[in-house]
């Protein structure tokens, strides 16, 4: 699932959609407004976001509304944080080592 999340976030248009959805739910047409692409292309991007678990959509009448799924973002954030913590620790140890050298 984490691979799908990073794959989904690799595309700038999908990141734009995710950023918009962090502000609140939006219809597909609202998500499409700032993007220079057709509505079918936006729907394809949304399908990738849904498959990754980042976005959930629901259709009421003729309107499809999209919602962010915070848990998927938290999983990606946690993975990044763990990597950052590891590398910060390693760099701190390197810094200490280099300071000890004559």
How many domains does the chain contain in total?
1
- Can you give the pLDDT at residue 44? 97
Question: pLDDT tens digits for 10-67?
Answer: 999 999 999 999 999 999 999 999 999 999 999 999 999 999 999 999 998 999 999 9
Residue listed under structure tokens 């913590």: 85
* pLDDT for residue 96 is more than 90: no
State how far the Cα of 12 lies from the Cα of 16, in Å rounded to an integer. Answer: 6
* Burial classification of residue 32, based on how many CB atoms lie within 10 Å of its CB (0-12 exposed, 13-18 middle, 19 or more buried): buried
- For 66, other C-beta atoms within 10 Å of its C-beta total 21
**Which domain does 90 fall in, by range?**
2-100
Residue 63 near residue 27, CB atoms below 8 Å: yes
pTM of the model: 0.81
* pLDDT for residue 89 is more than 90: no
Question: pLDDT tens digits for 66-86?
Answer: 999 999 989 999 999 999 988
CATH number at residue 78: 1.10.10.10
């Amino acid at each position: 699932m984490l691979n799908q999340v990073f794959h989904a976030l690799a595309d700038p248009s999908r990141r734009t959609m995710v950023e918009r959805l962090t502000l609140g739910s939006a219809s597909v047409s609202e998500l499409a407004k700032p993007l220079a692409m057709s509505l079918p292309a936006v729907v394809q991007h949304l399908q990738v976001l849904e498959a990754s678990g980042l976005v959930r959509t629901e259709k009421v009448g003729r309107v499809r509304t999209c919602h962010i799924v915070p848990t998927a973002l938290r999983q990606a954030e946690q993975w990044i944080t763990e990597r950052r913590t590891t590398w910060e620790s390693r760099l701190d140890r390197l810094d200490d080592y280099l300071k000890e050298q004559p």
